[in-house]
Structure 1
Amino acid sequence: MGKHSKGAPAFRSANQTEARVSTLFAEGVEFHVNGQLDRALAAYEQVLCLMPKHFEALHHTGIIAFQGGNYQGAVGFIGAAIAISPKVAATHGNLGNALKEMGRYDEALASYERALSLQADDADTHYNQGTALQALGRYDEALASFARAIALNPGDADAFNNQAVVLHELQRNEEALASLDRALALNYGFAHAHNNRGNVLKDLGRFEEALVGYESALALLNSFGDAWYNRGIALHVLGRAEDAVASYDNALALNGESAAGWHNRALALQVLRRRPEALASAERALALQPDNPEILRHRSRLLAQLHMHDAALGGIDKLGAQRPDDPKTLHLRAQTLRELGQAEAALASIDRALALEPNRYEYLLTRGTLLRTLLRYPEALACFEETRVQRPDAASSHTDCGIVLADLGRFEAAGAAYDRALALDPDFALARWNRALMKLLLGDFAQGWQDYEARWNVEMLGVFHEKRDLGAPLWLGAEPLEGKTILLHAEQGLGDTLQFCRYAPLVAGLGARVILEVQPALVSLVHSLPGVDQVVAKGDPLPAFDLHCPLLSLPLAFGTAPESIPHPAAYLAPDEGRVAEWAALLGEKTRPRVGLVWSGNMHHRLDRYRSLPFSSIAALVSDQFEFVSLQKELRPLDKLVLQMKGNVRHVGERLNDFSDTAALVAQMDLVITVDTSVAHLAGAMGKPVWILLAGGTLADWRWLLERRDTPWYPNARLYRQQVPGDWAAVLGEVRADLGALAAAPA
């Protein structure tokens, strides 16, 4: 043995190095098999320090990099191994796996092809090749790969599952279902296969079974976000919107960055009429996908439903800028413009949509509705008749035809259309509701009041007819009331409450203690109503009661017919103290006083035919009477004209609630009003009232057809337009009657 310097390295023979490498590699494999990846990697690194071109160490280091999600590192190490020994099938297969995870599918496929050229009977490589082809949308080739994998390994549940996913993409759903059943027969604890089975059943319309699939997946893997999301979809379709929201909440707790999850949650909340929450969810979805047209469209719908029409239109116009020829956007724009009262512009928008998609059912419905708004009834009917041809079994198509037939005065045909709709779908509330309006208009109260109960189930009336769970039975006249406490509650507008609170004394006459819940503005006024034991403002806590009845269900409970309407001469009286205050405010009366109301709710669908500008009604003003405005609020132009003319006294700023209005009405000798709550107030007080109505079927059902009087208010006289929107003839008639009144003996 030769001498060497102190500290100089000792030399190891080749046999010793190989032995050490062999030992280290064996240790690394053992650590690797036992899942001790850090220790395995350390061993392989030592091997590569001693022998940098050690094929197996390079390959296994690449595998560990892959298992740790370092796909680029895996490609580097496995590629180095292949450079040393290019004819080992497993290395090409594993390189393909790493490339596939990086989204480099074409390169992955090339690696799989090389692996299969070396070992054609490797089932896993055929399976992995199939998943790469699946990712590229090359479904027929993917199916061929999965078939070869299954032929080589019939017990591969993963291959059956992925085969099913591809079959589902190809809409070969029955085959997909069979493949998933094979997968689950091999491995019933395969959560993804249960989820995929749910997806196939969902597309087959078998939603109850789909729900079972999703819940089976979640029983196995509760943190399975996709299954929670898919479960939400199935629940939504099954009408279980509340449960759907909870399912989406679970999905979003696992993945809060899912735009689809937030959007579907918004859709479910919309069904529940929880629109502010729905809008917040849609906003979250839109923040994640700002240019998603479906989310933009849905957000605009929600804004419109929340009466934020200008904001809705802004969102629609943004969407329209992206897709100017998108018929769905044009359709939504038409619906929003209609809500903004821009019917002509809305019609132009829906016509563009129909030009792009002729005879589309939904677009024809909107066009018909717009034409009806514009009183172009024959054209509207033609649209709805086309929808009836397209879907003869759809109750909605027959109902829409019935509505326009009633507008045209073709009541028998309208009735037949409603009857046909209800024969097709006995629970179709919109048909029953519109039949109620027609029957009541025609004086057929027996059928009308029965059908009027359908109002609670009409979606479009939800804002006004909110069905409440009051925790007590509904009274409709059957049960005896002696010794019972009953809640009578307002449900619609102020005028409706004033008209139908007349029934409270009748209820009290049956021996009941009566609690009356009304809008806050009416509380002090209805205290004067006979038979009422307690008045509650809507929104305040309710006292205990045994039964309840909405005010507009009372005519049904009492079997009211036109000839049996309870019409006491006056059933509401103003507070005497306020009457004295208003008498002092107006001063000495030197001429008969006439109160004027010329406009109502500007958001009413028919406001253009129900209201008129002050400049028109000012034509009635003469020196023979003292004219007083009973309007609480003035539209801007009316305010300007009223100030300019100076011949009608306006005191609206002093009207705090309806007790003030009633005290002011008490100072009048006559009230002339369009169809507003003041008409009902004057009628309920027994004050002479002349009511100016829209023409024909545009007038509300309660005024019946063509009559100059009304059984609801014996002290009222009705003036009807002969041509919709034409007030000139009506005002001429009123002016003549005022002249006759002035000339009559005091």
Structure 2
Amino acid sequence: MRKHSKGAAFAPANPTAAKAAALFAEGVEFHQNGQLDRALAAYEQVLRLVPKHVEALHHTGIAAFQGGKYQIAATFIRSALALSPNMGPAHGNLGNALKELGRFEEALASYERALELAGDDADTHYNRATALQALGRYDEALAGFARALALNPNDLDALNNQAVVLHELRRNEAALASLDRVLALQPQFAHAHNNRGNVLRDLGRAEEALDSYEAALSLIPQFSDAWYNRGIVLQVLGRPEDALASYDNALQPNPQSAAGWHNRALVLQMLRRYPEALASCENALILQPDNPEILRHRGRLLTQLNMHAAALDSLDQLGAQRPDDPKTLHLRSQTLRELGQIDAALASIERALALAPDNYDYLLMRGALLRTLLRYDEALASFERALEQRPQGGAAHANRGMVLGDLGRFDEARASLDYALELMPGLASARWNRGLMNLLLGDFERGLPDYEARWSVEELGTFHEKRDFTAPLWLGEEPVEGKTILLHAEQGLGDTLQFCRYAPLLAARGARVILEVQPALVSLLSRLPGVEQVLPKGAALPPVDLQCPLLSLPLAFGTRNDNIPSSGAYLTADPQRVAAWGEVLGEKTGPRVGVVWSGNPHHRLDRFRSLPFTAMAGLASEGVELVALQKDVRPIDRVLLQTNRKVRQFSERLTDFEETAALIAQVDLVVTVDTSVAHLAGALGKPVWILLPGGAVPDWRWQLGRSDSPWYASARLYRQEKLGEWGPVLARVRADLQGGAAAQA
């Protein structure tokens, strides 16, 4: 602590006292010259001669304090005061030692006694004010600094700490004025530059704040706090890479900073470097194991790394410590949603809202969960309640727009999404969902540009995997003749099958086409016309001039409903495998129908698009042979499938899409829910009846209200009239099968 009071001279009365006085004077000289060890040795000799030498005791305490030995300092100063209780300076110095020991209330008592005995003293008022500041008694601290400044108007420390207190009281303009006065008196005061940056940051003047931090660091290059604060403002300015470097510099001299490690984790999360972010978060937790913010952040990172069960365990541990912490309940709700436990997630967010009924983020989460449960009216009410709390909340307007689209109120939905983007032009989720809605409505002109926002929608996680390529992105604006272009899969198998149709168009323009796809599709797509090479994802890539993700090709080619390319067959099955399946199936005695009843169980809307096996098996009738094209059979369906003699099944033999394609070639018709086999059948030109959920739930590519598809000429769409009711849909399919539609396909 700055500022201590000196002791008084000692008057000798006898030879021992004279020797002690000489040693004491020698110690004081060493002390004044900064030679603390020699000063302490001299004071020790004095105390051997005169154990109750008040000033030696006092000065020993002062020297111990200056050496950072605060408990020893307090002990010696107390000994001096026991002998001479009315030494005002000693009370002040005892206050300094107690303050460094964190015993602020005791320190205050010492300072007040010092002021009683010695009268107004600028240093004592200053030190007392800093103790009040540490206790969070800011108004009293401010009064103390004012008194110190009245006695010493140019006291730089008092001006600086006064500004810190004003900042805590959110009196930022006054704080800035105080700091400007400090720097006018002493431009080289690094801590004042740092504090000025903090005030400017809170005033929203981020660029000026950055300049102040830079000024502090030019004076003290290893100034950890300034590096840390610089990192914060760089995050605000949208410069995460620079912020990361700043946090690294902050941690170099101060690796025990939990806040530094935590903020480093936050910025790594912004950069989507999730494993590194988790490692930084773990370092922060080593230093502060019970910090709820860091524990919550760890749970969030585990979720982003798809370690949802571990995230839930971590959050439940935090919840056991803080069962009524709404922030933890909110994050737990998010994690449960990722685990597919929607009802449990809703229960968790309801608990959070019971504790914080008007919290904007919790209302958004509740609305999103209700939307997932297709409880659209309740979801809309939740989003509108969020807007009552924050009328200019872009996310709430965006979510409101999405649920209005679900309700078929498309004009209102578009207006809400448009307004969300007026409020928050960078809100990728609003743009992406507006794109999905326009595509669902068949408006490709407006929908496809917005669909490109998928790369920036963080909650999509790794589903839309944006990759870094040295080759530039091609979106149709430059000629491709004579150039090598990489087309790469980005989403599911069905998406790859649907959009690989564009590859021959590029070859027709003179491009050399390299196709990178999921391993299960490599063999099948190697026969796609115009493709020079098909590589599995993860393989080494050759040099290319341009690159384009498959789902950006419709935008690049200016696709509209009336110019979708290759709506007929553009893939072929391997003739040898087709023949082999013919032998397995044997002679056909009637229409042969391939069936698929379920898709990926992790799909967000799987429970609305998939069927139990028994429902599809009900299509069997005399004269119609059902063949299961289902590769992955769920355990409950597997038992039923093995005992059902009306459906032939070959799931063990469907080792890749080549086998599935060859088996499809041997059936007359495919009846399937919305999964990759629907796209495979359509790409092969095989008649395919696709069973779709009702409302606005179907994927955008099937659009609304159509019984046909512009993507596949051979497709017929069977839609639910009411969401969740498959009975009428299957009855129509059964009637069409019995009416001979399968034989005519």
Q: TM-score range by the shorter chain?
A: over 0.9
Structure 1 residue 496: deviation in Å? 1.0
Aligned counterparts of 2:292 and 2:16: Cα–Cα separation in 1: 66
The equivalent residue for 1:517 is 516
1:567–1:711 contact (8 Å) kept in structure 2: no
Q: Flag the 1:710–1:285 CA change in 2: closer, same or farther, 3 A.
A: same
2:179–2:192 contact (8 Å) kept in structure 1: yes
Q: Which amino acid aligns with 1:598?
A: W
Structure 1 residue 745: deviation in Å? 7.8
Q: Flag the 1:112–1:388 CA change in 2: closer, same or farther, 3 A.
A: closer
1:671 equivalent to 2:670? Answer yes
Aligned counterparts of 1:745 and 1:604: Cα–Cα separation in 2: 34
Q: Flag the 1:122–1:660 CA change in 2: closer, same or farther, 3 A.
A: same
Q: Which amino acid aligns with 1:439?
A: N
Aligned counterparts of 2:741 and 2:175: Cα–Cα separation in 1: 87
Aligned counterparts of 1:99 and 1:174: Cα–Cα separation in 2: 33
Q: How does 1:232-243 map to 2 (within 5 A)?
A: 232-243=231-242
Superimposed CA distance per residue, residues 497-545 of structure 1 (whole angstroms, 9 cap, x where no aligned partner): 1111111111111121112222222111111011111222222222222
Q: How does 1:3-82 map to 2 (within 5 A)?
A: 16-82=15-81
2:594–2:669 contact (8 Å) kept in structure 1: yes
Which secondary structure state, in structure 2, belongs to the residue aligned with residue 656 of structure 1?
coil
1:112–1:125 contact (8 Å) kept in structure 2: yes
Superimposed CA distance per residue, residues 571-616 of structure 1 (whole angstroms, 9 cap, x where no aligned partner): 1112333334444444454544322211111111111111011121
The equivalent residue for 2:484 is 485
Structure 1 residue 41: deviation in Å? 2.0
Structure 1 or 2, whichever has the larger Rg, is 1
The equivalent residue for 1:538 is 537
Give the TM-score taking structure 2 as reference length: 0.93
The equivalent residue for 1:552 is 551
Structure 1 residue 636: deviation in Å? 1.3
The equivalent residue for 1:470 is 469
Q: Flag the 1:634–1:67 CA change in 2: closer, same or farther, 3 A.
A: same
Structure 1 residue 120: deviation in Å? 1.9
Superimposed CA distance per residue, residues 23-57 of structure 1 (whole angstroms, 9 cap, x where no aligned partner): 32232222222222222222222222223333332
Q: Flag the 1:631–1:48 CA change in 2: closer, same or farther, 3 A.
A: same
Which secondary structure state, in structure 1, belongs to the residue aligned with residue 531 of structure 2?
coil
The equivalent residue for 2:507 is 508
Superimposed CA distance per residue, residues 446-468 of structure 1 (whole angstroms, 9 cap, x where no aligned partner): 22223322323323334232333
Superimposed CA distance per residue, residues 76-127 of structure 1 (whole angstroms, 9 cap, x where no aligned partner): 3223333444444322222222222223333322332332233224321221
Using the TM superposition, name which of 604-613 and 656-665 deviates more: 656-665
Q: How does 1:148-163 map to 2 (within 5 A)?
A: 148-163=147-162
Q: How does 1:370-449 map to 2 (within 5 A)?
A: 370-449=369-448
Structure 1 residue 18: deviation in Å? 4.2
1:624–1:742 contact (8 Å) kept in structure 2: no
The equivalent residue for 2:318 is 319
Aligned counterparts of 1:453 and 1:88: Cα–Cα separation in 2: 76
Q: Flag the 1:123–1:470 CA change in 2: closer, same or farther, 3 A.
A: same
Superimposed CA distance per residue, residues 643-676 of structure 1 (whole angstroms, 9 cap, x where no aligned partner): 2324323322233322222222222222111111
The equivalent residue for 1:352 is 351
Aligned counterparts of 1:201 and 1:371: Cα–Cα separation in 2: 42
Q: Flag the 1:286–1:584 CA change in 2: closer, same or farther, 3 A.
A: farther
2:304–2:461 contact (8 Å) kept in structure 1: no
The equivalent residue for 2:330 is 331
Aligned counterparts of 1:329 and 1:14: Cα–Cα separation in 2: 72
Q: How does 1:649-660 map to 2 (within 5 A)?
A: 649-660=648-659
Using the TM superposition, name which of 640-649 and 667-676 deviates more: 640-649
The equivalent residue for 1:6 is none
The equivalent residue for 1:90 is 89
Q: Which amino acid aligns with 1:115?
A: A
Superimposed CA distance per residue, residues 465-508 of structure 1 (whole angstroms, 9 cap, x where no aligned partner): 23333223332223222222222222221111111111111111
Using the TM superposition, name which of 419-428 and 719-728 deviates more: 419-428
Aligned counterparts of 1:569 and 1:437: Cα–Cα separation in 2: 25
The equivalent residue for 1:10 is none
2:58–2:80 contact (8 Å) kept in structure 1: yes
* Structure 1 unmatched ranges of 5 or more: 1-12
Aligned counterparts of 1:368 and 1:419: Cα–Cα separation in 2: 19
Q: Flag the 1:743–1:239 CA change in 2: closer, same or farther, 3 A.
A: closer
Q: Flag the 1:674–1:744 CA change in 2: closer, same or farther, 3 A.
A: closer
Q: Which amino acid aligns with 2:593?
A: V
1:456–1:462 contact (8 Å) kept in structure 2: no
Using the TM superposition, name which of 528-537 and 57-66 deviates more: 57-66
Q: Flag the 1:191–1:692 CA change in 2: closer, same or farther, 3 A.
A: same
Q: Which amino acid aligns with 2:504?
A: P
2:240–2:270 contact (8 Å) kept in structure 1: yes
The equivalent residue for 2:126 is 127
Structure 1 residue 367: deviation in Å? 2.0
Which secondary structure state, in structure 1, belongs to the residue aligned with residue 476 of structure 2?
coil
Q: Flag the 1:26–1:489 CA change in 2: closer, same or farther, 3 A.
A: same
Identity %: 71
Aligned counterparts of 1:578 and 1:594: Cα–Cα separation in 2: 18
Q: Flag the 1:114–1:364 CA change in 2: closer, same or farther, 3 A.
A: closer
Q: Flag the 1:194–1:579 CA change in 2: closer, same or farther, 3 A.
A: same
Structure 1 residue 695: deviation in Å? 1.3
Q: Flag the 1:642–1:198 CA change in 2: closer, same or farther, 3 A.
A: same
The equivalent residue for 1:185 is 184
2:98–2:107 contact (8 Å) kept in structure 1: yes
Q: Which amino acid aligns with 2:513?
A: V
Aligned counterparts of 1:276 and 1:647: Cα–Cα separation in 2: 50
The equivalent residue for 1:198 is 197
Aligned counterparts of 2:53 and 2:418: Cα–Cα separation in 1: 86
Q: Which amino acid aligns with 2:33?
A: N
Using the TM superposition, name which of 411-420 and 507-516 deviates more: 411-420
Structure 1 residue 742: deviation in Å? 7.7
Aligned counterparts of 1:104 and 1:462: Cα–Cα separation in 2: 49
Q: Which amino acid aligns with 1:345?
A: A
Which secondary structure state, in structure 2, belongs to the residue aligned with residue 110 of structure 1?
helix
Superimposed CA distance per residue, residues 526-573 of structure 1 (whole angstroms, 9 cap, x where no aligned partner): 110111112222222222222222222222222222222112532111
Aligned counterparts of 1:340 and 1:681: Cα–Cα separation in 2: 29
Which secondary structure state, in structure 2, belongs to the residue aligned with residue 218 of structure 1?
helix
Q: Flag the 1:420–1:35 CA change in 2: closer, same or farther, 3 A.
A: closer
Q: Flag the 1:169–1:476 CA change in 2: closer, same or farther, 3 A.
A: closer
Q: Flag the 1:329–1:56 CA change in 2: closer, same or farther, 3 A.
A: closer
Q: Flag the 1:745–1:558 CA change in 2: closer, same or farther, 3 A.
A: closer
1:698 equivalent to 2:685? Answer no
* Structure 2 unmatched ranges of 5 or more: 1-11
Q: Which amino acid aligns with 1:349?
A: S
The equivalent residue for 1:145 is 144
Aligned counterparts of 1:328 and 1:79: Cα–Cα separation in 2: 47
Aligned counterparts of 1:422 and 1:55: Cα–Cα separation in 2: 74
2:527–2:572 contact (8 Å) kept in structure 1: yes
The equivalent residue for 1:3 is none
Q: Flag the 1:227–1:741 CA change in 2: closer, same or farther, 3 A.
A: same
Aligned counterparts of 1:422 and 1:165: Cα–Cα separation in 2: 38
1:696–1:706 contact (8 Å) kept in structure 2: no
2:596–2:672 contact (8 Å) kept in structure 1: yes
Q: How does 1:188-337 map to 2 (within 5 A)?
A: 188-337=187-336
The equivalent residue for 2:4 is none
The equivalent residue for 2:706 is 707
Aligned counterparts of 2:286 and 2:535: Cα–Cα separation in 1: 44
Which secondary structure state, in structure 1, belongs to the residue aligned with residue 690 of structure 2?
strand
Q: Which amino acid aligns with 1:526?
A: L
Aligned counterparts of 1:16 and 1:506: Cα–Cα separation in 2: 110
Superimposed CA distance per residue, residues 130-161 of structure 1 (whole angstroms, 9 cap, x where no aligned partner): 22222233322222222222222223211111
Superimposed CA distance per residue, residues 318-339 of structure 1 (whole angstroms, 9 cap, x where no aligned partner): 3333333333333333333333
Using the TM superposition, name which of 204-213 and 579-588 deviates more: 579-588
Q: Which amino acid aligns with 1:632?
A: K
Q: Which amino acid aligns with 1:336?
A: T
